Amino acid sequence: MQGKNSVVKKVEKAIAAMAKISAGVEANTACACWTYQPKEPQNVKKLRKF
């Protein structure tokens, strides 16, 4: 059972890392739709690189 818990924790960390990378990419790109771009949360705005 110990090995299964460690695998689950590793998967959770990997998903969190991918979500952070995805949010960073989205923070630095514009919306493809011309008429609609929702407001970004403050945490995502902090990931901007400009």
For residue 45, what pLDDT is reported?
76
pLDDT tens per residue across span 1-47: 567 788 999 999 999 999 988 888 877 777 676 666 677 778 777 77
Element (H, E) at 21: helix 2-27
For residue 28, what pLDDT is reported?
74
